[in-house]
Amino acid sequence: MDLHDFVGHMKLVNGKPLSEGMVLDEAEIASTRRILLHVQTHGGPVMKLCLWDKAAMDFCLKFKAQGNTPSVILVTTLNPKRLGGAFTLSTLSPSRVFFDRDVQPTREYLIWLSSNMDVATRVNADIVTKAEKATIAELFSYMKQGGAKVAWFECTTTIDGVVPSSAWYYIACGECKTKATK
């Protein structure tokens, strides 16, 4: 199993946009034993980062102790997996959580973040978790817009049939019949 460390900036904490003076719902965190973060590294896609058990409680304690709302996070020993169909980084028992000025990688990222706020704010955190149905044609139209922003799409498809010994080469939308070539 390949384990990874992640450093980036937080967009959402349990579905709420990161804001100055943010207060965590400790009762909810204690009962669910989990915190779901939406995080982004540099200009990459927004990803889900799930903190479980001890890592969730450590996050909560460190978050409160910061005094002001932290923006940069480093989490060690992460297991990449699919949860609910979405790619998610999940903590394990040896995972550790660090914020803004705790360690050198977070300090370096904080410096990068402060001088690259245009990249950091490129994705609207309020929209990240909004599930919307769209046809392939609508996605293509969005991607072709001159002013389109960087976005990450998670798609669900239905396989209508399989032809043995024949590789698929496109996906067609059942609604609009638009094809996306592989």
Q: Alpha helix locations (H) across 116-182? A: 117-120, 125-128, 136-144
pLDDT at position 126 is 47
**Structure confidence by residue, pLDDT tens digits, 41-100:** 887 778 899 999 999 999 999 999 988 888 999 999 998 887 666 778 899 999 999 999
**Structure confidence by residue, pLDDT tens digits, 87-144:** 788 999 999 999 999 999 999 999 999 998 887 776 555 445 555 667 777 777 777 7
Domain boundaries for CATH 2.40.50.140 within the chain: 4-123
Q: Could you tell me which residues come within 8 angstroms of residue 169 by beta carbon, excluding any fewer than 6 positions away?
A: 181, 182
pLDDT at position 159 is 60
pLDDT value at 27 more than 80: yes
- The model carries a pTM of 0.65
pLDDT at position 176 is 62
pLDDT at position 181 is 52
| CATH number 2.40.50.140 is the correct assignment for the domain at 4-123 | yes
